[in-house]
Amino acid sequence: MTLTIQAVSEADTADWLTLRRALWPETAGDGHRAEVADFFARRAAEPLAVWLARTATGEAVGLLEMSIRACAEGCEQPNPAYVEGIYVVPHHRRSGVGRQLLAQADAWARARGCTEIASDTLPDNVPSAGLHAAAGFQDVGLVRCWAKRL
């Protein structure tokens, strides 16, 4: 399949929101809108990047959101690139969309001097685990997260 991987612009907001809602359905619509607006407001000041994968007909079929964090589980060096979110629409999975998006992430990270790239998935997200393994990521363990309401 012929794909175009492009950095998002404000003209891509509707497609980006659609894919974000599919990736993180638990986040309310206004939350997604606020995060997208925040990205456009601060992307020049922080190492942030978002790409959409589009088919030859222009359909947005994949999303990748990246940052650089101070540290990440399993990384030995500070400031690893971090896959904040990756999503491929179900009927385009296993067709190379995710691998092409992650190749873009690798190039972006290297261009910023990163020597490591990290990501996370929910323990039961088998498709995401398969994508990460196919792209060369190694499972470095599970983290238990805790919260306390006050």
Structural domains of the chain in order of their starting residue, each with its CATH number:
3-134 (3.40.630.30)
Summarised one tens digit per residue, pLDDT across range 18-41 is: 999 999 999 877 889 888 888 888
Q: What does the block give as tokens for 106?
A: 């690798």
DSSP notation for 86-125? EEE-GGGTTTTHHHHHHHHHHHHHHHTT-S-EE----TT-
At 65-113, the pLDDT tens digits run: 999 998 888 889 999 999 999 999 999 999 999 999 999 999 999 999 9
Q: Are 17 and 63 in contact (CB under 8 A)?
A: no
Tokens 């990748």: give the residue: 64
Q: In b/e form, how buried is each residue of 9-23, taking b as 16+ CB within 10 angstroms?
A: eeebeebbeebbbeb
Q: Which pLDDT belongs to residue 40?
A: 83
8 Å CB contact between 126 and 134? no
Main-chain dihedrals φ then ψ at residue 63, nearest 5 degrees: -140, 140
At residue 142 the predicted structure's pLDDT band, cuts being 50, 70 and 90, is: confident
Give the pLDDT of residue 45. 60
CA distance 4 to 136: 22
Distance from C-alpha of 137 to C-alpha of 127, rounded to nearest angstrom: 14
pLDDT at 89: 97
Q: What percent of the chain has pLDDT over 70?
A: 95
